[in-house]
Chain A
Amino acid sequence: MVRLTGLRKVFGGKGKPAVTALDGVDLVAPTGSITAIIGPSGAGKSSLLRAVNLLERPDSGSVIVGGQDLTALTEADLRRARQSIGMIFQHFNLLANRTVAGNVALALELAGWPRDRIGPRVAELLDLVGLTDKAGQYPAALSGGQKQRVGIARALAPNPQLLLCDEATSALDPETTRQILDLLRRINRQLGLTVLLITHEMSVVREVADHVVVLEAGRIIEQGDVTRIFTHPQHPTTRDFLAGETGTRLPAALAARLSPTARPGDVALVRLHALGPVAAGPVLAGFALAGVAASLVAGRVQALKDIPFAALVLALKGDAAAIAAEITHLRAQGADIEELGHVAADAVAFN
């Protein structure tokens, strides 16, 4: 388990303007879970992740990994503790002058493994990440996805209990990203490894995370189970991130015409998040049966932990009471419905 308490970190000072990277962060990542930390750039994600193995020592607060407060350790003990915390990086950070096998072996050499045990362990790891045939190649000959696999093998080499992923897929194309995320998920399940990752992509969160932490300006603004965050996002920043991922962010022209109150002939815009049967069910038909014309403005249905997850923006035209009744009905079934406002019917092609 990882428990971060009251982390604060301020950069600058001494004449330069001070920047608060972490402003009192409390976070618990349960053993064996994948926790995703998401936030806009400059939110402090990287500082938070780098505080976990003290690559960046926080100004105050405690970092407890596996029952040990890392901030209280001596340099030598900290180095030993770091050997049970693997880390992978956005730009892989492989040694260009070592082969694939040599890069993986480095982690074991640093951990003081005897030579005769290093070879078999390296082979085992290259097999785990599917790079056995590349053992003798240098990183320059590998693709981005292969380099990250080497990074993963290197991080896992000394049998860590925790894996830190610093934007591990941000430099990869979507297909490679999916493969690396699948690998992380597989490792998480097979080895029972706790994973802490930071990302600015909600799709990464959707594909691998169990828990989500939303960071903004050095503070946690929302955290919870991934299903809860996707179906019932609370904070506006979380909603906005989610809208980007689900394709339900309103076009600027439409958003500009939104009004909080309805004028005669207006239609209501709502954003709906629903999981499972509700998402797969006849949402539009439900409105139609209530005498409300519902049209799909934006959105999509994706898989969230293998369950259908719908994120839709609907334009609703009809009797206000009927609309309210149907919304209440859907909410009772577990859907999250955000009433965005009202626009003139022609804005969403109603006549």
Chain B
Amino acid sequence: MSPQMLSLLTDATLQTLSMVLVAGALACLGGIPLGLFLALCGPGDLLPRPALHRLLGLVVNAARSTPFIILVVAIVPLTRALTGTSIGTAAATVPLTLAAIPFIARVVEAAVREVDHGLLDAARAMGARPGQIIRLVLLPEARAGILRGLTLAAVNLVGYSAMVGAVGGGGLGDLGIRYGYQRFMPEMMLAVVLILIVLVQILQSGGEALARKLDKRHLKG
């Protein structure tokens, strides 16, 4: 492998990492609160806001059913307004973030709804305010599930970040397509795929290890 190739791979890996991390962090900022709202504000939930809940549910579903590659193109004006350009790593972060927010919202919602309803009864019987129930009961009990969901989201982001490569987003996907496919360099393609596999592996096992550490529901031998 030539030094040139190596430097291309290093740059691309760093670009992918930055896209995944920045988009992931921003999406958490939007997705976790949205997920909590979806889990807590439905009809019959702790803090019912049925009308807004319905509306946000529809928006989340609409965003999740839009194919990612179409989303990327469709929001180019927004991307330009936010980053001044529609190509490159920074620009790619915008659609990545937007795609990850509804995904994270749904996994957070699922994790919070998984918490045993009996715990809500116990907390209410102890005189807990809704805010205390969320802070002291729901979030601590759901944290392992939330973390597993976020791991899933991070792995998905790695996949999506490879896709934005196709529209000039930079990163490993871009490298794989331009060098590996279009210039027919199978060793480059192989290197890109291997790096992606390693990246996903690290995210998955890191996330799972942390979730296990936080999860006290089962006895560990």
Contacts and interface: CB of A to CB of B under 8 A. Distances in A.
Given A95-B119, A97-B140, A82 B216 contact: no
Contacts, number: 73
Contact of B126 (A91, A98, A106): A106
Residue from B121, B129, B137, B218 having most chain A Cβ neighbours under 10 A:
B121
Contacts of B124: 55, 82
B131 to A, nearest CB: 11
A79 B141 CA distance: 22
A350 interface: no
A83 B141 contact: no
B212 interface: no
B127 A87 contact: no
Interface string A91-112: 1011111100000001101110
Contact of A89 (B122, B140, B214, B216): B122
Interface of A: 53, 55, 79-83, 85-87, 89, 91, 93-98, 106-107, 109-111, 138-141, 154, 158, 164
The 5 closest A-B pairs by CB, nearest first: A82-B127, A93-B118, A93-B122, A87-B125, A79-B127
A97 B214 contact: yes
Contacts of B214: 97
Main secondary structure of the interface of B (DSSP, over half): helix
A94 B122 CA distance: 8
Interface string B119-157: 101111111110010001100110110000000000000
A55 B119 contact: no
B189 to A, nearest CB: 44
Contacts of B62: none
B70 interface: no
A83 B123 CA distance: 10
Contacts of B128: 79, 110
B158 to A, nearest CB: 29
B127 A83 contact: yes
Contacts of B132: 110
Given A91-B118, A95-B140, A97-B140, A110 B216 contact: no
Contacts of B144: 97
Contact of A110 (B116, B119, B136, B218): B136
B183 interface: no
Nearest to A83: B127
Given A89-B122, A95-B119, A139-B216, 9 more contacts: A53-B125, A79-B127, A79-B128, A82-B127, A96-B141, A97-B216, A98-B140, A110-B128, A154-B126
Contact of B121 (A89, A106, A138): A89
B122 A87 contact: yes
Given A140-B218, A140-B219, A85 B125 contact: yes
A275 to B, nearest CB: 37
A96 B217 contact: yes
Contacts of A141: 219
For this complex, into which size category does the number of interface residues on chain B fall?
20 to 34
Given A106-B136, A110-B136, A138-B216, A95 B127 contact: no
22 contacts: A55-B124, A55-B125, A79-B127, A80-B127, A82-B125, A82-B126, A85-B125, A89-B118, A91-B118, A93-B116, A95-B137, A95-B141, A97-B140, A97-B141, A97-B143, A97-B144, A106-B123, A106-B137, A107-B126, A110-B123, A139-B216, A140-B217
Contacts of A107: 126
A86 B125 CA distance: 7
Contacts of B140: 95, 97-98
Contacts of B127: 79-83, 110-111
Contacts of B125: 53, 55, 82, 85-87, 164
Contacts of B122: 87, 89, 93-94, 154
A87 B122 CA distance: 7
A140 B116 contact: no
A73 to B, nearest CB: 12
A109 B217 contact: no
A154 B119 CA distance: 13
A328 B104 CA distance: 77
Nearest to B216: A138
A82 B123 CA distance: 10
A98 B217 CA distance: 10
B141 A55 contact: no
Given A93-B118, A96-B216, A109 B141 contact: no
Contacts of B136: 106, 109-110
B127 to A, nearest CB: 4
B220 to A, nearest CB: 9
Nearest to A80: B127
Interface in B94-127: 116, 118-119, 121-127
A62 to B, nearest CB: 19
A111 to B, nearest CB: 7
Nearest to A76: B129
A302 B119 CA distance: 38
A93 B141 CA distance: 12
A14 to B, nearest CB: 12
A154 B136 CA distance: 15
Contacts of A111: 126-127
